[in-house]
Amino acid sequence: MYGGFRKIWALVLIMAATVSVIFPYQGKTVHAAEPIVVVIDPGHGGENLGTDYLPIPEKVYTMQVALYMKQELEKYKNVVVYLTHTQDVDMDLTQRAEFAESVNADFVFSLHFNMSISHGLYGSEVWVPSTGTLYSQGYSAGNEFLMQFEQVMGLFNRGIKTRIGSKGTDYYGIIKQCALRNIPAIIVEHCHVDHINDVANIQSQNKLQEFGICDATAVARYFGLTKNEEGGADYSEYAPLAVPVPEARVCNDTTAPLYLEAKLLDYNSTSRYATVALSAFDGESPLQYYAFSTDNGLTWSMLQPWNKGQNEMTVTVNIGYGKKDSLLFKVMNLYDIATNSNLLELN
């Protein structure tokens, strides 16, 4: 449905392999003489709690991580760091963008924590502007955040995404308001507060500080910053992912994966293990998770990571005990839209 998206996605994949040679653009808005101006936006505040699935609401976590991020980022040369707010106050998204404009921001990083309605999703994701240079800058910077979370903290990488609202423009207010002012802004969803895989990452100050350091490191890598201290981190030679400027708006995938085919390779009725070959396809966004059901889709296993970048994978699952004689799979794409497989009979 979104040919534009498919084309851009293919380009991005190609770019990952060939980067700076063909496209010297590195997403930087650097002027050697002037310091980089970074605006950190702690999501929510005041009456706006954000996700309140846990006893401590999201706005508390976003502020703590923002302060850790600022502290770490200020260890680098040639950068000025602001927070959109430092008190627990209500601030609408236009005010946040106006603040960024007033300080001449080179980039706005809006910090958030996530939850899902199903409570089944886990991992980190980044939302980026859908058009032009802002898209390229957002994608390149977002990639640095997700690499940090994945490599340093072991979080599942849920990818970089756009979301288009009913008016055909960017859905998220902070991205939209900043785009109107030609400031790149991304929403960083660090992890899911309602999933057992992720929740330990917000339950200690050490972990929140780790998030703040990951955030600052991502920004330092993106802008090629160098630490003040002698022998400290130096990213001046580092080239972040070069993302070509898209010709058209990059739309989110709104349709399910085209198909999921399951083929039973082996089933041991004593050990209750089944080995199944899965084959799936989605031309618009990558496949991300799979799960299985032994009650024809009434309940599902915990989501498992799909074989990244592949259309096939072989899985071995334990179906447990009780009267279970069938096996159903589902696969989900980057936007968490699922397609079910054919039903496998186990007898």
Residues that bind Zn ion (CB under 5 A): 43, 50, 112
Task: List the one residue out of 179, 180, 178, 176 whose CA is nearest residue 166.
Answer: 176
Question: At closest approach, how far in Å is the CB of 340 from Zn ion?
Answer: 31
Nearest-CB residue for Zn ion: 112
Residue 127 CB, nearest approach to Zn ion (Å): 11
CA gap 278, 328 in Å, rounded: 11
For residues 22 and 49, which CB has a smaller minimum distance to Zn ion in the complex? 49
CB of 174 to Zn ion, least distance (A): 10
Q: CB-wise, 68 or 329, nearer to Zn ion?
A: 68
Nearer to Zn ion, 43 or 142 (CB): 43
Nearer to Zn ion, 43 or 257 (CB): 43
Shortest distance in whole angstroms from residue 181 CB to Zn ion: 21
Task: Pick between residue 50 and residue 129 the one whose CB is nearest to Zn ion.
Answer: 50
Q: How far is the CB of 187 from Zn ion (least distance, A)?
A: 8
For Zn ion, give the closer residue by CB, 27 or 50: 50
Residue 62: CB minimum distance to Zn ion, A: 7
Smaller CB distance to Zn ion: residue 57 or 283?
57
**Tokens read off for 107:** 């980039």
Nearer to Zn ion, 110 or 148 (CB): 110
Q: How far is the CB of 177 from Zn ion (least distance, A)?
A: 16
- Measured in degrees and rounded to the nearest 5, phi and psi for residue 218 equal -60, -45
Q: How far is the CB of 119 from Zn ion (least distance, A)?
A: 16
28: Cβ contacts below 8 Å, ≥ 6 apart: 222, 223, 224
